[in-house]
Structure 1
Amino acid sequence: MSKPPGRDRKRGAVMKNLDFGLDARVIRTYYICQLTIRNSFKPSPMSRRWALSVAVSNPDSGLNSTVRSDAVATRLRIVAAAERLFAERGIDGVSLQQINRAAGQRNRSAVQYHFGNKEGVIHAILDKHTAGIERRRHELLDEIEASGKLELRRLAEALVIPLAEKLDDPDGGIAFLRVNAQLIGHPDFPLLELHAQRVNRGADRLHRLTARACPDLPMELWMSRWLALGGLLFHGMADYAQLTERNGGAALNIPRSVFVSNMVDCAVAVMEVPQSPETDAELERSRRPDEETPHV
C-alpha cells in the first residue's frame, strides 16, 4: 500500500528537527498542540496555562526554537499588560481588546488565542506570582520545622512575609496584590475558587501546621478566621501600596518594616483570640440537627 505523499514530507520535517536537537517527545507534543489548535477555535485556558508555565519554568525543556520563545514572550507581555490594567482600572473595567492593545498585539484575537477568556488571563497572573510565593513560604516553613518549635507568630510570618515581599517586586508585584484584593468576593472570579484550581503545597502545608498550633480552636472557627485573614492581608497590602505611591513613598508615615511586622501581629491575633461565649453558644446551636440556625 502506497503512503500518502504528504506523510513523507512531514517525516522529513521531523527528522530535520531531530538534527537540531529536539527529541521525539517534544516533536510529538508539538504536533498534538497543533492539532488541538486546529480543532478548537478557543483553546482551553488550562492548556495555555500549562504551556506557559512549562516554557517559563523550564527554558531547557527542548522547545528552544524562535517560535517557542516568541510565543512565551507574547504571553508574558499580555500578562504584564493585563495585571497593570486590572490593578489600575479594575477587573470589570478592562476588556480583552484593551489588554490586547496595551500588550502591543496587532492580532486582535491574541489574548483569546493564548488564554481563551478573561478568567484564563487571571489564572495566568496568579500562576506568574504564586510559584515564587510558594518557594519562599516553603523556605520559612522548613526553618520552622527544623527548629522543632511550632510557634504561631513564626507561622504567621510564613503567611505574611512572602506576600509582603511582592511590595518590592518590580515585575507586577503590587498589581498582583491589588488583583487579589479585587478577587475577594468577586461574583464572577471568586479568589477561593481560583486558588482551589491550582496546587498550592506551601499554603496547604501552612494550613496543616497552623491547625496543629491551634488544637483547641474548633474547625468552623479556624476556617472562618482564615477567610478573614485573606481579606485583611490582600486589602491591607493593596491599600498600603496605593497610599505609598500617592504620597511619594511614605504611606501615612508608616515604615515598611513596621507595617509588615504589624500585619504579622494582626494575623496572630486573628488566630489566637479566644472565642466569646456568644460564639460558643452559636457554635453549639449550629451543631444541633433538630434546630435551625437563625439568619442574621
Structure 2
Amino acid sequence: MAERSTRDALLEEGALLFAERGISGVTAKELHAAAGARNASALHYHFGGRDGLLGAIITAHVEAVEQRRARLVAAIEAAGEEGDLRAVVRAFAAPMAEDLGTPLGRAHLRLVAQASHPSLAYRRAFQVTEAPAGTQATRWLAAALPDLPEPIRRERLVALRAQLIGLFAFRATLLDARPPAEVVGTDEVFLETLIDLLVAGLRAAPSEEAVAAAAAERRRHKV
C-alpha cells in the first residue's frame, strides 16, 4: 500500500479528530501529530490553517457523494423516473448512506452536521463545489410537489435537508459507539426507513393551519 502524503494524512486524521472532539476541540499541534507531519507548518502550508483544512475535508466529502449521486441521477433519467418522488429522494439519501460503512465516511457525516449552520438550509444547495447531479435532483424534487403553496414547499425542502444531515450524523455517531448489532439493526433497514419517512413527509397533505400560515406569509411579503 502506498504511503499517504502529508496532505492526505491531514485530511483523513483531521476528519476523524474533528468528528470525535468537535471542530474547535482540536489544535494544530494535535493535527500534526496525528498525521505524522514532521514539519510544524504543514497544516498552514497545505491548507492555510485549520479552517482551510475543514473546508477541504467537506469539499472532498461533497465531491465524493456527488459522484455517487450522478450515477443514480443518470439511472433516473434513463428510466424516465424524474417524477418518481421516492426515486429522487433515494438519489439524495443513498449516496450518503455509503459513508456509514467506514470510520472515515462516518467522520465526514458527523463533521458535515457540525459545520452546517441551520441558515444554510435556506440557501441554494450545492454551492460548496460543482454538483450538477445534486442540482438536477433538487429541481426534480421541487417539481414533484407542484400543489404545495410555495412557503410550505420551501419549509419541507428545508426540513428534508436538515433530516438528511442530522439523521445520518446520528446514525454515524451511533455506529461509532459500537452498540450491539441487534439493538441497532442494519444500515439497509435504516436507509429504507429513512426514505419512507422523508417521502411520507413530503407527500403529506398540508393542514388548514399550515395553508393559512402560508397565505398570511404571502400577504406580508406583498405589503
TM-score normalised over the length of structure 1: 0.67
Alignment partner, residue 15 of structure 2: 83
Q: Could you tell me whether the CA contact under 8 Å between 2:97 and 2:168 is conserved in 1?
A: yes
**CA distance 1:82–1:194, shift in 2 (3 Å):** farther
CA contact (8 A) 1:144 1:154 kept: yes
Cα deviation 1:140-190 (Å, max 9, x = unaligned): 1111122223210111111110000111145x1000000011123279xx6
1:196 matched to which residue of 2? 127
- 1:232/1:290 Cα in 2 relative to 1: closer, same or farther (>3 Å)? closer
Identify which of 87, 112, 118 aligns with 2:44.
112
Higher helix share: 2
**Does structure 1 residue 236 correspond to structure 2 residue 167?**
yes
Q: CA RMSD in A?
A: 2.7
One-letter amino acid of the counterpart of residue 73, structure 1:
S
Would you say the 8 A contact 1:243–1:252 is kept in 2?
no
Count of residue pairs the alignment pairs up: 220
Given candidates 58, 66, 74, the residue that maps to 1:126 is 58
Unmatched 5+ residue regions in structure 2?
Answer: none
- Does residue 145 of the first structure (1) align with residue 104 of the second (2)? no
1:220–1:258: structure 2 CA closer, same or farther, 3 Å change rule?
same
Preserved CA contact (<8 Å) 2:62 2:129: no
Query: Where in structure 1 are there 5+ consecutive unaligned residues?
Result: 1-68
1:58-78 superposed Cα distances (whole Å, 9 cap, x missing partner): xxxxxxxxxxx99x8221111
Q: Kindly indicate whether the alpha-carbon contact (under 8 Å) linking 1:81 and 1:103 is maintained by their aligned counterparts in 2.
A: yes
Larger Rg: 1
Shift of 1:289: 4.0
State the 1:197 CA deviation: 3.6
State the match for 2:205 in structure 1.
Answer: 274
Moved more, 224-233 or 253-262: 224-233
Residue 216 (structure 1) shift: 1.4
Distance apart, 1:92 and its partner CA: 1.7
TM-score normalized by the length of structure 2: 0.87
Shift of 1:245: 3.4
Deviation at residue 209 of structure 1 after TM alignment: 0.9
Q: Is the 8 A contact 1:86 1:94 kept in 2?
A: yes
**Mean Cα displacement is larger for which, 178-187 or 76-85?**
178-187
1:226 corresponding residue in structure 2: 157
